[in-house]
Amino acid sequence: RTLRIGLIPGDGIGKEVIPAGRRILEALPASLKLKFDFVDLKAGFESFEQTGSALPDATVDVLRNECQGALFGAVSSPTHAVKGYSSPIVALRKRLDLYANVRPVKTVLNAAKPIDMVIVRENTEDLYVKQETTRDTPEGKVAEAIKRISEKASFRIAAMAGDIALRRQKIRESSPSIHSKPLVTITHKSNVLSQTDGLFRTVSKQALSDPKYASVAIEEQIVDSMVYKLFRQPEDYDVIVAPNLYGDILSDGAAALVGSLGLVPSANVGEGFAIGEPCHGSAPDIQGKNIANPIATLRSAALMLEFLEEPEAAAKIYAAVDANLEEGKLLSPDLGGKATTDEVVEDILRRL
């Protein structure tokens, strides 16, 4: 099988980590019978400055018509409002209907406080519909934004969370884990937002009441309390499902628990399509120095493969990354090491 993969480095360290993602895919053992074909695509602030578009139509068209997956690096947000510029990754998620943003956060097993959770973030609506208006009043400007929660999007994201919980349980049967049974925690703020978050809550419960999830325990947490618990008892959580904005916040919080955003992957997942995307940003402060941690991108490539139904190839990448971290000799500076991006990549390729 040959997979055609779009490569969208974007800005800043995106240009350093996406090539690492390409290298690991190319280095997968031939025995997997998996080939890759790459196409370079533009998006981001540099693209905006050069072409007038942060997300050129050509990028969306090639992804939609030719590719099965993609790797997306990071984009710089301008520090001042720039007319006509808006985040290409948010637009891409919506235009390709990549309705789930899946963010696993996991320590290596020998960690002092092992955690192993995945945040399943709704990826198309909530405040990210970006419908905003501003009006002048005698007391000054008043701006409003719409937070939209739909039954359809809530149902499918909760079902995705249930499926992931089952899949994780399956994998655990053959490898050690801190969890004994699958758990999905529904996060919302329905004590204040009874209609929007209330709908998310009700529909999520309904989706997860399907008999196929009978083995999955279901809990709920108000988002503020979820953040509290995330920091007090992170080891308790398995799969957390949340509307878009809470998922954004929770996944950065969870990343803090494993020591560096440079370790945390994500996948933007739709029907038969997945974009791997490291959770970190474009990090202009370290760009061009060859010290960015490539692990978030390597794990994102693996996560993309999982959702393209190539779990074996994904497992190989995860294992090689874990082996590098467990040995702890060649680490990038964000983890307290001195290795360059290239040295980390090469160490991991050797372990494939």
Ligand X SMILES: CC(C)[C@H](C(=O)O)[C@@H](O)C(=O)O
CA Rg value for the chain: 20
* Sole window of 82-90, 133-141, 150-158, 174-182 interacting with ligand X (rule: CB under 6 A): 82-90
Question: Which region, judged by CB under 6 A, interacts with ligand X, from 58-66, 85-93, 168-176, 197-205?
Answer: 85-93
Q: How many chain residues are in contact with ligand X, going by CB under 6 A?
A: 7
Select the residue interacting with a copy of itself from 51, 86, 110, 209 (CB under 8 A).
86
Contact between 290 and 21 under an 8 Å Cβ cutoff? The reply is no
225, 309, 336, 350: which one binds a copy of itself (CB under 8 A): 225
CB 105 within 8 A of CB 258: yes
Span near ligand X by CB under 6 A; candidates 84-92, 160-168, 173-181, 306-314: 84-92
**CB 193 within 8 Å of CB 154:** no
Nearest distance in Å: CB 350, a copy of itself: 31
Give CA separation, 108 vs 20, 50, 127, 289, 320, in Å. Answer: 21, 42, 34, 27, 12
Site for a copy of itself in 279-338 (CB under 8 A): 281
Strands 239-242 and 273-276, bridge-based pairing: unpaired
Nearer to ligand X, 97 or 327 (CB): 97
Using the rule CB under 6 A, is 85 a contact of ligand X? no
Q: What is the total count of residues that contact a copy of itself (CB under 8 A)?
A: 57
Q: Please identify which residue in 191, 272, 289, 338 interacts with a copy of itself, judged by CB under 8 A.
A: 191
Residues contacting residue 267 through CB under 8 Å, at least 6 positions apart: 100, 101, 102, 274, 275, 276, 277, 300, 303, 304, 306, 307
* Shortest CB 197 distance to a copy of itself, Å: 8
Give the type of residue at 13.
I
Does the footprint of a copy of itself cover residue 127 (CB under 8 A)?
yes
Of 253 and 270, the one with the shorter C-beta distance to a copy of itself is 253
Among 101, 124, 169, 196, binds a copy of itself (CB under 8 A): 196
| Cα distance between residue 106 and residue 109, in whole Å | 9
Specify the stretch interacting with a copy of itself by CB under 8 A; choose among 18-26, 31-39, 63-71, 145-153: 145-153
Tokens of 72: 């997306």
- Mode of pairing for the β-strands spanning 273-276 and 132-137: unpaired
> Using CB distances below 5 to 8 A depending on partner kind, what does residue 270 bind out of a copy of itself, ligand X, none?
none
CA distance 322 to 121: 24
- Find out whether 300 and 307 touch, Cβ atoms under 8 Å: no
Q: Are 76 and 14 spatial neighbours (Cβ–Cβ below 8 Å)? A: no
Helix (H) or strand (E) holding 37: strand 35-40
Residues at the contact surface with a copy of itself, assessed by CB under 8 A: 77, 81, 86-87, 90, 127-128, 130, 132-134, 137, 139-152, 155, 189-196, 198-199, 223-225, 227-232, 245, 248-249, 251-253, 255-257, 261, 281
Residues at the contact surface with ligand X, assessed by CB under 6 A: 87, 89-90, 191-192, 224, 248
